[in-house]
């Protein structure tokens, strides 16, 4: 397990949604907000830099669609991104187990 201090990353939320299907940016942020009952509200200024970095690292890819004469960019989870997501989830669960030990101590 890595020894990083953060319990989870926003990347985990983004990839967790993308594992279901392709989403465009606004739809991705809205889905996170909806699924988490408004607990997580990922702003575009935070989300897009993360998506661009994950695109550069090969975790996601994009495709464009014209919708109402506007270009809509859809994000797609790649195999490399699935593995990255699974690794993050494993680390998250390990950290949660250790936190539970402290809570129950």
Strand, coil or helix: what is 105? coil
Is 34's pLDDT higher than 90?
A: yes
| HEC sequence for 26-85 | HHHHHHHHHHCCCCCCCCHHHHHHHHHHHHHCCCEEEEEEEECCEEEEEEEECHHHHHHH
Whether 2 is in a domain gets the answer: no
Q: What is the pLDDT of residue 9?
A: 86
The pLDDT tens digits of the residues spanning 47-81 come to 999 999 999 999 999 999 999 999 999 999 999 99
Please indicate, yes or no, if residue 1 is contained in any of the structural domains.
Answer: no
The reported pLDDT for the residue numbered 6 is: 65
CA atoms within 13 A on the CB side of 15: 26
Distance CA 77, CA 96 (A): 25
CATH number at residue 64: 1.10.10.10
Q: Give how many domains the chain has, as a whole number.
A: 1
Q: How high does pLDDT run on average in the chain?
A: 93
Q: Read off the pTM.
A: 0.87
What is the extent of the structural domain holding 17?
A: 10-104
pLDDT of 82 > 50? The answer is: yes
Residue 9 Cα to chain centre, angstroms: 8
Cβ neighbours of 9 (radius 10 Å): 14
Q: Stretch 75-98: mean pLDDT, rounded? A: 96
């Amino acid at each position: 397990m890595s020894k990083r201090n953060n319990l989870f990353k926003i990347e985990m939320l983004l990839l967790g949604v993308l594992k279901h299907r392709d989403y465009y940016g606004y739809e991705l942020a809205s889905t996170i907000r909806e699924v988490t009952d408004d607990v997580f509200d990922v702003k575009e200024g935070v989300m897009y830099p993360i998506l661009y970095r994950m695109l550069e690292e090969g975790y996601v890819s994009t495709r464009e669609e014209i919708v109402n004469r506007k270009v809509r960019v859809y994000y797609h989870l790649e195999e490399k991104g699935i593995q990255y997501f699974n690794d993050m989830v494993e680390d998250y669960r390990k950290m949660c187990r250790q936190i539970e030990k402290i809570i129950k101590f």
